[in-house]
Structure 1
């Protein structure tokens, strides 16, 4: 069989070597223009493999091949699943291979344990297990149903719980300090008004919040100790309010890829650190999160196109360089799985 391989990366090179070793005739093109592509297709090609890292260029080549040779068998590597579905509706004879789907089972297996080679979809005849796995035992490889070990899920749950209201950087610490300080002043002032001035809870809380937000006067009192407390509390409230405002502004401008609480809070232990938030890294984060594991992504570039998608999927992402010891220390690599 004669195969035309289009691509310049390592994947295209390995595909050419593998096809040649199996006895197929291979024609390799890098960045081919319309004339080069048309000339290559006129040479009795039986199938075309488009192996590029750019989905846009790959789709363009597929459409060009379909236009020049309708009905030609085409194999293409695409990362984006939405683009893949749209391409299938336009080119019926195309076979789409996702590099992310190909790498995902092996990466999941490495997370689950040293004896787990790969983790994939559940077997057809297995109704209880959520996944199937290729495991290594006594020198043999076995395929069977697989469930995530309870201790891994438990460690992830504890790690996520420990990450709630735990600042991961200076900006988060400023925000949390201001919030806790204002809340402490309100609670203390409310308790004092209820205890020593016999005010109902709602009235005492209203007075405390009104004073803190500077929309109401402080309760009049002849007690010297309360006047001293009011002076200290109002001065402290000014400071805490300024600190909270600065932290909130910085948090809103930072992209909010890690939250202070909720699912986007950065786990502190029992988690998996995924370095790189490309198509493979993002899919791995999604699968780990779906399996109940705690996960945090690490991305160097703030302009990564998957950052907004990860935020919408409640995946915490830390912006930093994975090659720096300081960055990995912040991510608690010593307490990860």
Structure 2
């Protein structure tokens, strides 16, 4: 017996019901969620489970490899700041560092302070605690410069504090270093972090291929899992041209449209091919007609027909199940 459903809850309910009513009948079921599939297999070892999302991710990963995605050392892919709060935090921090350096140099030049004393007094000035006592007797240009530097530092401190609070108060999906640092060159840009996009990201990371995911819903379940999996995520609309430009699409190796909406994936493909015509595009499409029309008319890139892949895997599994159990005990319930 085969149970095919787009909803994991429905598939799980039907599997448990069939196993309870007819425990001797072999079961084949589809589950997208890996945790649910593992728990179900632990409870019912006789149930054979197929994950359409894993099959689709495997096919998309193969398309990425054929399109030129390769393992890249972290120092070659470099980094980019895709989170607005992180950009503000780094920018304000660099601005404060520059203000401190300029104030130190000016103090050493105008007040003839030693380096250590100049740094100490300049830090007080940049932090708007107090100016150097000797500044009162300093030249006019130094007083004007120090006053302007203090005002600029006051604004930078406000921006730095606001950005820091924003970063601390919400999940940090990208970092400056580490596995969640967003690559800037030769990476795979995965638009859509659902079950398929998340598993694709895991597969690419396992191969050493740098990846950056884009997800419009910050509350999506896989966004929460991405940090642990080492997948950097940008919260934005992947089909928006401004988003793709901000993420430097021209530096990608491959763009993968992996959302659950075929039309959104086609829109991503159109935007990507327009902004970066030389970048390889891979699209996940489930509707056979949309896939055929897109392939014959638009020629956007490689297409992964998720429904066809799942259907072929299910047919092969049911055939194997029928051979193993005999024709009298197997039925296909779809």
Tell me which interval the TM-score lies in, with the shorter structure as reference length: 0.5 to 0.7
Count the aligned residue pairs.
250
Structure number with higher relative contact order (C-alpha < 8 Å, ≥ 6 residues apart): 2
1:185 aligned residue (99, 110, 113): 99
1:295 paired with 2:211, answer: yes
1:331 aligned residue (240, 243, 247): 247
**What CA distance in whole angstroms lies between the structure 1 residues aligned with 2:225 and 2:103?**
43
What SS is found at the alignment partner of 1:104? helix
Q: 1:89 to 1:162 in 2, by over 3 A?
A: closer
In structure 2, what is the equivalent of residue 174 of structure 1? 88
What SS is found at the alignment partner of 2:208? coil
CA contact under 8 A between 2:122 and 2:131: conserved in structure 1? no
1:49 paired with 2:16, answer: no
Q: 1:101 to 1:175 in 2, by over 3 A?
A: same
Gaps (5+ residues) in structure 2? 254-334
In structure 2, what is the equivalent of residue 218 of structure 1? 132
In structure 2, what is the equivalent of residue 199 of structure 1? 114
1:67 paired with 2:27, answer: no
Q: Displacement, 1:98?
A: 1.7
CA contact under 8 A between 1:78 and 1:84: conserved in structure 2? yes
What SS is found at the alignment partner of 1:220? helix
Q: How does 1:91-110 map to 2 (within 5 A)?
A: 91-110=44-63
CA RMSD, aligned part only?
A: 2.8
What SS is found at the alignment partner of 1:273? strand
Q: Displacement, 1:95?
A: 0.9
Q: Displacement, 1:190?
A: 3.6
**What CA distance in whole angstroms lies between the structure 2 residues aligned with 1:71 and 1:211?**
80
Q: Displacement, 1:307?
A: 0.8
**What CA distance in whole angstroms lies between the structure 2 residues aligned with 1:73 and 1:172?**
53
CA contact under 8 A between 2:57 and 2:200: conserved in structure 1? yes
What SS is found at the alignment partner of 1:257? coil
Q: Displacement, 1:63?
A: 1.7
CA contact under 8 A between 1:71 and 1:93: conserved in structure 2? no
**What CA distance in whole angstroms lies between the structure 2 residues aligned with 1:170 and 1:306?**
21
1:269 aligned residue (185, 190, 201): 185
**What CA distance in whole angstroms lies between the structure 1 residues aligned with 2:235 and 2:76?**
24
Q: Displacement, 1:200?
A: 5.2
1:304 paired with 2:220, answer: yes
Q: Deviations over 1:102-149 (max 9, x none)?
A: 2233211111125xxxxxxxxxxxxxxxxxxxxxxxxxxxxxxxxxx8
Q: Deviations over 1:317-337 (max 9, x none)?
A: 222323322222222222211
Q: 1:198 to 1:207 in 2, by over 3 A?
A: closer
2:153 aligned residue (205, 216, 237): 237
What SS is found at the alignment partner of 1:210? helix
In structure 1, what is the equivalent of residue 122 of structure 2? 208
**What CA distance in whole angstroms lies between the structure 2 residues aligned with 1:101 and 1:314?**
18
In structure 2, what is the equivalent of residue 90 of structure 1? 43
**What CA distance in whole angstroms lies between the structure 2 residues aligned with 1:68 and 1:184?**
73
Greater share of residues in strand: 1
Gaps (5+ residues) in structure 1? 1-47, 115-148
CA contact under 8 A between 2:82 and 2:234: conserved in structure 1? no
Task: Give the greater-gyration-radius structure (CA).
Answer: 1
**What CA distance in whole angstroms lies between the structure 1 residues aligned with 2:75 and 2:163?**
28
Q: How does 1:120-199 map to 2 (within 5 A)?
A: 152-154=70-72, 157-159=75-77, 161-163=78-80, 167-168=81-82, 171-193=85-107, 197-199=112-114
What SS is found at the alignment partner of 1:256? coil
Normalised by the length of structure 2, the TM-score is 0.65
Q: 1:188 to 1:301 in 2, by over 3 A?
A: same
